[in-house]
Amino acid sequence: MAFPTDLEIARGAALKPLEDIASEMGIAGHLLEHYGEQVVKIKLAAMDELAGRPAAKYVVVSAVTPTPLGEGKTTTTVGLGQGFRHIGKRATVAIRQPSMGPTFGIKGGAAGGGYSQVVPMEVLNLHLTGDVHAVTAAHNLLAAMLDNHIYQGNQLGIDLHDITWRRVLDVNDRALRNIVIGLGGRGDGVPRQTGFDITAASEVMATLALAGSLADLRERLGRIVVGYTSGGTPVTAEQLSVAGSMAVMLRDAVKPNLLQTLENTPVLVHAGPFGNIATGNSSVIADMIGIRAGDYLVTEAGFGADMGAERFFNIKCRTSGLVPDAAVIVATVRALKAHSGKYRIVAGRPLPAGLLAENPGDVAAGAANLRKQIENIGLHGVPAVVAVNGFPTDHPSEHRVIRQIAAEQGARSAVCTHFAGGGRGAIELAEAVAEAAAGPPAFRFLYPDSASLRDKIAAVATKVYGAAGVEYSPQAAAQLDTYERAGFGRLPVCIAKTHLSISSDPTLKGAPTGWTLPVREVRASVGAGFVYPICGEMRTMPGLGSSPAATRIDIDDDGLVMGLS
């Protein structure tokens, strides 16, 4: 009998009333705002009402460097949250809201998978409560006000060749990456070159994720820099008198969404910042609520530990003040074989036969990446647990290799079968994480606030990425000097690079050393609160593949979604 699809499994779920889920978290009914029968928003007053409760153990789930196969990080996050209940502990899961660009593209949805899912999965993957659209509208309102200011006389003296604010859309559309606006007659605006990014790449999204309250969000929106005058002075949303309107558009989006897993574990879904140029983590507000709602708060960081986890530690934890107790690194036999460099893997195509054959030697050959990611967690004083996400094609000898590697690095490990077994398949992982998180926190930042931007970049490049050094283009060097003079030097850094390698070169597998990080440009997300150096070509607007998921998604005569994965 064929294994049921994710959508079939999700539709068979026995959902609890969300009032009951919230009650188990200690959240009273007057703090809930219903969006239909299957989703509620949590009012921000919950943070104050929960403040006196004990803090949960704080666990972040990361992974080895991603491969086209997918390592099952969200599935593991959900499975771990469910697994805690099987060892007598109460957990809350916190994840990002999926972008509909990947949902209709090649990646599919982001609700987990198998018997470790967030439900209802079609609601989660398709609009949810409209938060992403609110971010889109607020971002584009700022763009419209910027161009209107220029059209109305440009009193602030904005340099048309030094405008950094683009427009956004939650659709993969490569044709919009670079465009010219203002064409037509005199009344159609001032012509200039610009483009679109995907909404997840918007600074407004990152700002929403890092804000600690509605008032904090309002202040951060005002600090957003949209461009510069001919003299190099930054121009902000506050100067364009639009930050207040943006905050109004986000007044509901700032409230986290509450859903549940297939086993009725509470899930906070909030914000969805891009993992390449932004933090790649769910919101601070969701974590401030979840940290007082049970025994464990399990959250997920985007891409590998060199990216999402590093930003979780040095940006998100800096902002929230929360201290992590343990970190999970998701690894698969297939991923480590891929990191050996012996196999060419193309998304959407059949896997090489050798990848599925029993070969512990290939697992060991790709182990350098796992070792480095364990080291990256340890740099921050956080104990690591390697979660081996098991597949039916794996072999016990290959699992033993991964366990041995973890032990050699001083990390615990567990083999998980949560995709097929739900929470019961993550019991060993839950027990290992509980052991790892039991000790007193020893967390430390990678660099101090007082370090220069160059020193912060060097710290991440050499300690986390394994680079020999950093090389700056003349443009990047000048931009860093400008940001230091403008008072942005105390901000943390969020290095924009490929997620396909620990290095800045997507073709380099494993854990390369001896290379130099090339910084070609540096931008400041002042509203969100970080500076991001750009290393290599960054695609902030994805394109659709030759067979996007949109071709398989439809609706039946009863109004039910079909083909969503």
What is the CATH number for 206? 3.30.1510.10
| Average pLDDT, integer, range 33-43 | 94
pLDDT, averaged across the chain? 94
Give the whole-angstrom CA distance, residue 414 versus residue 428: 6
559 within domain boundaries: no
161 and 53, same domain (yes or no): no
pLDDT at 401 over 70: yes
268: domain CATH number is 3.40.50.300
Q: What percent of the chain has pLDDT over 70?
A: 99
pLDDT at 380 over 90: yes
Q: For residue 260, give the 3-state DSSP assignment.
A: strand
Q: How many Cβ atoms are within 10 Å of 178's Cβ, its own excluded?
A: 12
Range with the largest mean pLDDT of 6-15, 353-362, 406-415: 406-415
276 and 387, same domain (yes or no): yes
505: domain CATH number is 3.10.410.10
What was the pLDDT predicted at 347? Answer: 67
296-349 pLDDT tens trace: 999 999 899 999 999 999 999 999 999 999 999 999 999 999 888 888 877 667
What was the pLDDT predicted at 370? Answer: 97
The residues, any chain, with a CB within 8 Å of residue 219's CB and separated by 6 or more, are none
337 and 425, same domain (yes or no): yes
Q: How many Cβ atoms are within 10 Å of 517's Cβ, its own excluded?
A: 25
| Average pLDDT, integer, range 360-371 | 94
Using the structure block, give the residue that is written with the tokens 């929106």.
221
78 and 167, same domain (yes or no): no
Residue where a domain terminates, one of 249, 280, 306 = 249
342 touches 352 (CB < 8 A): no
User: What DSSP assignment string belongs to 484-513?
Assistant: HHTT-TTS-B--B--SSSSSS-TT--S---
What is the number of structural domains in the chain?
3
Among 223, 221, 222, 225, which Cα is nearest to 233's?
Answer: 225
SS3 string, 362-423, reads: HHHHCHHHHHHHHHHHHCCCCCEEEEEECCCCCCHHHHHHHHHHHHHCCCEEEEECHHHHHH
What was the pLDDT predicted at 1? Answer: 64
pTM of the model: 0.95
Tokens found for residue 50: 């929960």
548 within domain boundaries: no
140 within domain boundaries: yes
543 within domain boundaries: no
What was the pLDDT predicted at 344? Answer: 80
464 touches 314 (CB < 8 A): no
β partners of residue 524: 531
How many alpha carbons fall within 13 Å on the CB side of residue 348? 10
Tokens found for residue 419: 């995709």
327 touches 333 (CB < 8 A): no
96 and 41, same domain (yes or no): yes
DSSP designation for 281: B
377 and 413, same domain (yes or no): yes
44-74 pLDDT tens trace: 999 999 999 999 999 999 999 998 778 899 9
342 touches 355 (CB < 8 A): no
| Average pLDDT, integer, range 417-436 | 97
Q: In 324-355, which positions are buried (b, 16+ CB within 10 angstroms) versus exposed (e)?
A: bbbbbbbbbbbbbbbbbebbeeeeeeebeeeb
Q: For residue 113, give the 3-state DSSP assignment.
A: strand
pLDDT at 224 over 80: yes
Q: In degrees to the nearest 10, what's the CA dihedral of 311, 317, 323, 326?
A: -20
259 touches 118 (CB < 8 A): yes
Tell me the one-letter amino acid at 299: T
Residue where a domain terminates, one of 387, 404, 436 = 436
* pLDDT bucket at 442, cuts 50 / 70 / 90: very high
Q: How many Cβ atoms are within 10 Å of 477's Cβ, its own excluded?
A: 14
Tell me the one-letter amino acid at 135: V
190 and 330, same domain (yes or no): no
Angle at 373 between CA 368 and CA 378, to 5 degrees: 125
Q: For residue 248, give the 3-state DSSP assignment.
A: helix
First to last CA, the chain: 20
264 and 392, same domain (yes or no): yes
Residue where a domain terminates, one of 436, 468, 494 = 436
279 and 422, same domain (yes or no): yes
- Judged by average pLDDT, the poorest of 20-34, 286-300, 352-366 is 352-366
What was the pLDDT predicted at 276? Answer: 86
Whether the upstream peptide bond of residue 120 has omega within 30° of 0, thus cis, is yes
What was the pLDDT predicted at 71? Answer: 87
Angle subtended by helix axes 131-151 and 203-210, to nearest 10:
130
User: What DSSP assignment string belongs to 146-183?
Assistant: HHHHHHTT-TT-EEEEEE---EEESS--GGGSSEEES-
506 and 358, same domain (yes or no): no
Q: For residue 554, give the 3-state DSSP assignment.
A: strand
Give the whole-angstrom CA distance, residue 79 versus residue 234: 46
Phi-psi category of 421—alpha, beta or left, where left has phi over 0 and alpha has psi -120 to 50?
alpha
What was the pLDDT predicted at 277? Answer: 86
262 and 237, same domain (yes or no): no
Tokens found for residue 208: 């929403």
318 and 417, same domain (yes or no): yes
- Judged by average pLDDT, the poorest of 79-83, 91-95, 128-132, 390-394 is 390-394
Phi and psi angles of residue 373, each rounded to the nearest 5 degrees, phi first? -70, -35
* pLDDT bucket at 551, cuts 50 / 70 / 90: confident
Q: Which domain holds residue 109?
A: 6-125+258-436
Q: How many Cβ atoms are within 10 Å of 358's Cβ, its own excluded?
A: 14
